[in-house]
Structure 1
Amino acid sequence: MFWTADCGIDGHTPVDVDDLDLVCIAPLPSYVWYQDMADFAETISDEAASRRLARAIQGEGAFRRFKNELHEKYPHLLPAWYAFRDMRAARRAVQWLVNNSLIDHETGERFVTEPQIPTFPEPAAGLRDFPNDESRTCPRTQRRPSRNQVRIPVCMPSHR
């Protein structure tokens, strides 16, 4: 919704901003979004893609390199990345609503704690799908995905 203090919401009636019950929404620091990229790279079942994405986010320009790597080398991972990123953003938004008493605690906690497994596109013919099995460990870290992480299935050409 667009409005100004001079013209108000309706475009005619001036509004005193101090009279409105507004809640300020502070932007999240970039390290939060950076951690999403790092977590996504860690949860990918394709080890080569995982390593390349993890390397892409090292140093300055991490966001651009990550985006370029996905678009140029791994476009098949874009739907998984967008689902992963959106799921994380939605959880943060709901947690913010709870923290600011804009929704009740029980509703917010139910949304945040229930598994929000994003749906992924079906693999194309001739490609194999890695199972979304949380009992598997990350090959690089030898850790299992945390409660908030989802093992990202990756479609790769089958080797015969």
Structure 2
Amino acid sequence: MVQVAIQDIVDAIGMTGTEDQYYLDLGTGDLLFYSDMAADEDDVQERLDAGDDQLLPLPDLYEINDYATMAAFVDTQDDPVNGELARAIQGRGAFRRFKDEIIRLGVAQAWYAFEAAAHYELAVAWCNENHVAYTEKA
């Protein structure tokens, strides 16, 4: 059975974008990056097209759900920060406004710690659901 460093999974979750996907190679334990932007020259795409069952996708943006993480963080804040951030995450441009507001309100470090903890919890849950053994240190 392959074993991975949980922090590697956490880092991959934190770097996943709209055009990106990470996969765990169940044979080697390596994390492989795939991007729609570079699909033509990607070994991962070839393996996926060939039906390689050794590639296990890590959580995608839908599963990561950064908006829900932001909303949960807002709920942890006291007034008036809570109210300012709650307004910031409404409507289009919520992510940009949120980033601007956490800096302006002086809670950026608290946010990044909260986000890292959320990604860690997601990584552990993903490993458990997929029967992937992990270590705490790389």
| Bin of the TM-score, shorter chain as denominator length | 0.5 to 0.7
Of residues 29, 42, 53, the one that matches 2:75 is 42
Q: Which residue of 2 aligns with 1:65?
A: 97
Work out whether residues 74 and 86 of structure 2, in 8 Å CA contact, stay in contact via their aligned partners in 1: yes
Give the CA deviation at 1:38: 1.0
Question: Structure 1 residue runs of 4+, over 3 Å off?
Answer: 1-5
- Report the TM-score when normalising by structure 1: 0.50
Of residues 100, 105, 111, the one that matches 2:130 is 100
Deviations along 1:94-113, one digit per CA (max 9) or x if unpaired, are 10111111128xx9xxxxxx
Q: Which residue of 2 aligns with 1:88?
A: 118
User: How many residue pairs were aligned?
Assistant: 93
Deviations along 1:70-95, one digit per CA (max 9) or x if unpaired, are 12x21x31111000000001100110
1:64 and 1:99 map into 2 onto residues whose CA distance is 32
Of residues 104, 108, 113, the one that matches 1:78 is 108
User: Where do 5+ consecutive residues of structure 2 fail to align?
Assistant: 1-31, 34-40
- Report the TM-score when normalising by structure 2: 0.57
Of residues 53, 75, 91, the one that matches 2:85 is 53
1:24 and 1:31 map into 2 onto residues whose CA distance is 13
Q: Which residue of 2 aligns with 1:27?
A: 60
The two structures, once aligned, show a CA RMSD in angstroms of: 2.8
1:31 and 1:91 map into 2 onto residues whose CA distance is 11
Partner amino acid, structure 2, of 1:77:
V
Q: Highest Rg: 1 or 2?
A: 1
Give the SS at the match of 2:133: coil
After superposition, the Cα gap between the structure-2 partners of 1:56 and 1:4, relative to the gap in structure 1 and judged at 3 Å, is closer
User: Where do 5+ consecutive residues of structure 1 fail to align?
Assistant: 9-15, 108-160
Tell me which protein shows more helix as a share of its residues. Answer: 2
Q: Report 1 or 2 for greater relative contact order, CA contacts < 8 Å, sequence distance ≥ 6.
A: 2
2:98 and 2:61 map into 1 onto residues whose CA distance is 19
